[in-house]
Structure 1
Amino acid sequence: MFVDKAKIKIKAGNGGDGAISFHREKYVAAGGPDGGNGGKGGDVIFVADDNFSSLIDFRYKRKYVAENGQNGGAKRCTGKSAPDLIIKVPRGTIIRNADTGRIMADISTDEPQVLARGGNGGRGNCNFATSTRQIPRFAKPGYPGEEFDISLELKLIADVGLVGFPNVGKSTLISAVSAAKPKIANYHFTTLTPVLGVVKVNEEKSFVMADIPGLIEGASDGVGLGHEFLRHVERCRLIVHVLDVSGTEGRDPIEDFDIINAELQNFSEDLAKCPQIVAANKCDMADEEQINRLKNFIEEKGMKFFVISAATTHGTKELINAVAGELEKLPPVREYKPEPITQEEIEEKALSNTKFEIEKEGNIYFVDAKWLDPIMRTINMDDYSSLQYFQQVLRKSGIIDKLESMGINEGDTVNIMGFEFDYVR
């Protein structure tokens, strides 16, 4: 099954927590704090793999999570950083933020792309010792790894795209000029998925051609099969527009030409501007008057016109040489540049790090702030300096200000993730 769109969730690893530890050794007085830092969480990295031609694997597995970094240890030992999670996708895959539509990466080259960065490790208590706080009984938790809902969209990388109505001979043409072996039959929609073929011009020159399933009127609005695959023509440097000059299907090739170009225009302005060469196929079943009528129409539009018969390979060599010559004048295959992060994403990310909700029931204030959970794991509630640090976190995050605006009084109970204490001004 050919799958060219998928939606998944990726989550980089969290950093390991810093350690709370004190040096204990015979004959060594006042060993002091020696808790080490946590290790870094694993990144989520995407790489292109030419052994993959479809996104079907992502239909069955929708969540990818990298490992967390190890916690710090005693004797100032830093926790081990987690390995990166490598995700292989077909070359030409565009990755977008599923919530905003922002392009995050174009996996078209061999360069690995880091999509979600692992969190850094938290600092151990050895980092918080000062002349006035010599026994810090708290450490910092690891930072959370980035996570995103992303959409994957495969846009095949081809130099040339074959477009045209169903049954005009596109599959026959690509099989005649390359080693591709698409299904060929005398009925509409024989081609159900795009087919790539490498066309060899000479010993040192070749290019990639894509046979796109046949388009019909209304394709850009979702009619027929071809609309599903128009995205695969967007990267093409050149379009070969195949027309049935014989009219054996009962259609007018000039009308077909206008309909297909209108669909390309409706789908993408850039696609409509792509250079075109017209191949009038099935010339062995057409008379000279039909051919000349179409030739005059196409040449009036300033396009190159070739008369071919893909079934007998008549004229295909001249067509391929002309295509190769045009490609030498054109820029390389289009790459999609990552788009800068939007202000909306920046604000959402900032808010998610300190997002909280407070509900009041009687004289008890329930604080729901999941990001506080790792911090509370590293706090010693029986230690004064730890409590001071915890109070600073509550103040900086706005929780205390919110409690005061809700009218909290001294002696009221605050419940944070199950931990309760009396509020003191």
Structure 2
Amino acid sequence: MKASRRGLLLGAGALTAAGTAARSASPVAAQDVDWLQQTLERFAAFGVKAAGGSGDNQSGVWLEGEMSALGFRCERQMFDVPYAQVRTATLQVGDQRAEVFAQAIVSTTGAGGLSGPLVRADAPGGLAGAIALVVLPARRWVSTAEPLIARALADAFERDAAAVVLVTSGPTGEAIGLNVSVAKPPFPKPVAILAPKDADPFVAAAARGESARLVIDAQVGERPAFNLIARLDRGAAKTLIVTTPRSGWFTCAAERGAGVAVWLSAARQLAAAKPGVNLEFVATSGHEYIYLGGEEYLAHHAPKPDRTHMWVHIGASAAARDWHELAIGLRPLPSPDAQRVLTATPEVIEKTRAAFAGISGLEAVYPADKAHAGGELVNVIQAGYAPAIGLYGGHRYFHTPRDDMRCVSGELVAPVAAAFQAVIAATLP
């Protein structure tokens, strides 16, 4: 990957009065729930949020305008990310044809595709010239760095497979896009994700070793992306940092939208409250490349630990809908998915527990250490920042094309937004 473009471009905007939000985890006013709903819908409407693409960039520009209107000075921290403009991505055996997700960092087959026997990767023997099919066990998958996936890919390519197709078995039947690091060499040959709902005929064909054709025809390369850095300088000795990622493989309505709404609501409240700390709110891109934007901000722009009051990270699936898993399929619930984790450093863990008491999945606040912390907060803690608070999670439609507005609502986000505002207020001088 070529050197990052790390220039800082100054944003602009007029000042307006900031709205107020709840200061505690008490019930949130109807107008605040409505505002959160509108914020979620606006974010979802930008479409696919792949880093550096139109949806990611448009959401960044929108947030820049919102933050400028609150009085924040906005900058864009530029860096390069891989991309793939996919024209065709399919797997075919005989008359059976399915769309696949071209897994980043994308290696293409060309328009003509590649053909070879479709073979289960767990079968003994060599895989020379074969398209290896890896059927993963059911899980809410996140990354190619997960040991089972990493081992399966390494094994298939060591056995000379021409390509690998992963079946990301999970709770929805949808293909699950996987985060990937740019710090490691890309896959030597094409890798695709096949949705479990489409997999049965291909699993049967692989058992027979039938011939298959994989097509991943795409324009690939690098393009610029940007972190939005919004600062409100109060002339204080220390700065409160609040971060949230905004990019991801698909629309990310709940995965990213919930965090963006919590982040923006906190900015509105703090701009009006005028606390005795500087404010730095950061919406990062490049998250799907295993925290690339977060690493760029941490390495090149973040205030030093001794100049930081606290770091608050609002990660994935902050407030996503839960679903019943029934024989007839998934059915939506009015309650939140509890598969979300909150961690805090010792200085603020009790205040965090008090603020999030009674919020499912977040009331069990864990120590922010290597065993419990997740997402970008891992790097933040390793860099010596404390106090620090971080949330991460993975709802049922996490990293799938169907993470849309069915998966999130203002009612689900409101208590989480109020709790974050409460714990921040409890730590302010």
TM-score by length of 2: 0.23
Structure in which a larger fraction of residues adopt strand: 2
Of structures 1 and 2, the one with the larger relative CO (CA 8 A, separation 6+) is 2
Which has the larger Rg? 1
